[in-house]
Structure 1
Amino acid sequence: MILKLLLTISLTLSSLFALTGQEIAQKAHDVNDGDNQTSSMKMILIDKNKKKRVRELKRFAKDKGEDELKIMFFISPADVKNTGFLTYDYDDSNKDDDQWLYLPELQKVKRIASNDKSSSFMGSDFTYSDMTSKNVEDYTYKVMKEALVNGYKTWQMLVTPKSKKTIDETGYTKSILFIRQDNFIVVQGLHYIKAGKKLKYMKITGLELIDDIWTTTKIQMTTKKGKKTLHKTVIEFSDIKYNQDLDESYFSTRTLEKGL
C-alpha cells in the first residue's frame, strides 16, 4: 500500500515537472473562476507620497460559453460615482475584446479603442488590458525555474508576446509570472512596460477557496522606476457570491447608462 502511494506521488510529481510552459499557461487559463459572480470592490490608489484615495465599486460577471461578460459601477466618491465599465472578454485570440466606459458627467458611453487599452484604468496602475484575461495563443512561455512564493512552490515563467499588436495593446514587452504548482493560480508577476523604462509588480495578497473556487480577495499593482515607487493600486474584493441570478441582457451599454 505504501509503495503504491509513493509510486502515485512520484508519477504525479514527474508529470508536473514534465509540463511545458505552454501547457502550464493553458492550465492556468482553464482554472475554474466560477460563474454568475457578484462582489463589492474597494480600489485604493496610493501616490508616491503615500497619499491614499479610496473608491468603492460593485462588480458583476457572467460566462457566455467560453467568453466572459463583466460590468462594474463606481459607487463612491462623488467625482467617479455612477461611472460604469463593461467588458466582453473573448476566448478567441482572433477577436479583440470589447470594452466600454460610461462617463456620467458627459452622459456618454465611450468605446475603448485597441490603442487605448494600454492606458491607465481610471487612474490606477492597472490598464484596460489588465481588466481582461490574456489569450494563451498570443504568447510564448518558458519555464525559468522553480521558486517559492509565500511558502508555495511555483513555476517562474518568462512570458513573451508574439506580436507587436499584443505589445501595443497591453503596453508590456514581456512578463515574468509565478504560477502556483498546486492550483495553477498566477500569484505574482513582473511586467516590463513598453515606454519609460518602468516596471509593474503584481502580487495577489489574498486568495481564498469560496464554493471550491480559488478566488482572489486582494491584489496589488505597483509601478516602479528603478527602486523608486511611482504609484500603487490595491484592489480588495468582498461579499463575493457565485451562482447568482444574472441575465445575459444585463451586460449591455444600456445598463451602463442606467446604472445601479
Structure 2
Amino acid sequence: MAEVVSARSIMEKVEGRDDGNNSVIDLTMTLVDKKGKKRIRVMRSYSRDQGADEFGTMYFLKPADVKDTAFLNQSYGDKKKGDEQYLYLPALHKVKRIAGSDKTDSFMGSDLTYADMGHIDLDDFSFEILKEVYVRDEHVWVIRALPIDDSTINETGYIESIFFVQKNNYVVVRAIRKLKGGKKIKYTDVKALEKIDGIWTPTETHIFMKKGKKVVHQTILKNTSVKYNQEIDADLFKVNSFYRGL
C-alpha cells in the first residue's frame, strides 16, 4: 500500500532539505522589461547555517551603478525573532533596514521581493495537495498554499501560491503566485537543476510577472559557480561588514 502523505509534511521536507552550507555562489541576474530590453547584474552570494539560524549575504559586483550594493538576510529558528534584512547603499554610505511593511517591495528592480529572499513560516499557511503531474519528465506534487490571515498576505504580498514539488528531491521546480490585488500573477520556473556535491541546486531560474496574458517583466537567475562547505568569515554576515566591502 502506498504511503499517504500530507501537503504539510511535504512542505516540511521542502523546508528541511539539505540546500548546502557555507556556500559561495557567483550568479548573474538578467532583468527584462516588457519591451525586451535587458539589464545584466553580476553578484556573489554567501550563505551559512548556524543551528536553526540561517544567514545570507549578497554583493553586487557589476555594473558600476550597483557595484558594492549589498544585502543581508538573517533568518532565525526562534519565531519570536523573525527575519532581519538590511540593504547597503554605497552611494549614500548607508545601511537601510527592510521594515515589515517594505517586504513586498521589489528586490533591486527584479521580480523577487524582500519577502521572497527571506524564510517561510509554514504555520502562516494552510496546504493542500491538488494533484500529481510531470514537469520535465519528473513526478511532482502540486500543492496549494493559502495564507491563514490578512497579516500574512500583507507581509508576503500573495493571496495564493501553487508549488510544484519534485517528488524525488523535494525541490520546488515551479511556482505560481497570485499577488494581492489580483491583477498580477508571478511565475517561477527552475529551468536547470544540478546535483552539486550531493546537493540538488537550481542553477537557472526564470521568474516572470504577467498581467492578464501579457508578460510585463522577467528576471533570469543563472549560477556561474557554486561551491559548498567553504571557509567563510562569520563577520561577513554582520551589518558592519558592508562598509568594508569584499
Fold agreement, TM-score > 0.5: yes
Where does residue 253 of structure 1 map in the other structure? 239
Gaps of 5+ in 2: none
User: Which structure 2 residues correspond to residues 212-231 of structure 1 after superposition, within 5 A?
Assistant: 212-231=198-217
The structural deviation recorded for 1:95 is: 3.1
**Equivalent position to 1:206, from 183, 188, 192:** 192
Q: Which amino acid aligns with 1:125?
A: D
How much does 1:258 deviate? 1.3
CA distance in 1, matches of 2:214, 2:19: 34
Q: Which of 167, 178, 183 matches 2:164?
A: 178
2:59 aligned with 1:73, yes or no?
A: yes
Q: Does 1:163 align with 2:123?
A: no
Aligned twin of 1:123: 109
Alignment of 1:178-197 (within 5 A): 178-195=164-181, 197=183
Partner of 1:148: 134
Q: CA deviation at 1:40?
A: 0.4
* 1:4-45 CA-partner distances (Å, limit 9, x unpaired): xxxxxxx5xx12xx1001111101111101110001010000
Q: Secondary structure at the match of 2:153?
A: helix
Letter in 2 for 1:173: I
Deviation at 1:97, TM superposition (A): 0.5
- Give runs of ≥4 in structure 1 deviating > 4 Å: none
How much does 1:196 deviate?
Answer: 5.5
Aligned residues: 246
Matched, 1:25 2:5: no
- C-alpha contact (below 8 Å) 2:83/2:119 kept by paired residues: no
Contact 1:188/1:204 (<8 A) preserved: yes
Q: Could you tell me how far 1:173 is from its partner in structure 2? A: 0.7
Q: Deviations for 1:45-100, whole angstroms, at most 9, x for unmatched residues?
A: 00001110000011110001112110011111111111010000223444321000
TM-score (norm. length: structure 2): 0.97
- Answering whether residue 49 of structure 2 is matched by residue 44 of structure 1, we say no
Residues of 2 paired with 1:196 and 1:75: CA distance?
35
Alpha-carbon displacement from aligned partner over 1:144-169 (angstroms, at most 9, x marks no partner) = 01111111111111101112222111
Q: Which one has the largest radius of gyration?
A: 1
Aligned identity (percent) is 41
Residue 87 of structure 1 is matched in structure 2 by 73
Q: Which amino acid aligns with 2:234?
A: E
**Helix, strand or coil: the match of 1:191?**
strand
Q: Secondary structure at the match of 1:132?
A: coil
Alignment RMSD, CA only?
A: 1.1
Describe the SS at the equivalent of 2:116: helix
Separation in structure 2 between the aligned mates of residue 195 and residue 75 of structure 1, nearest angstrom: 35
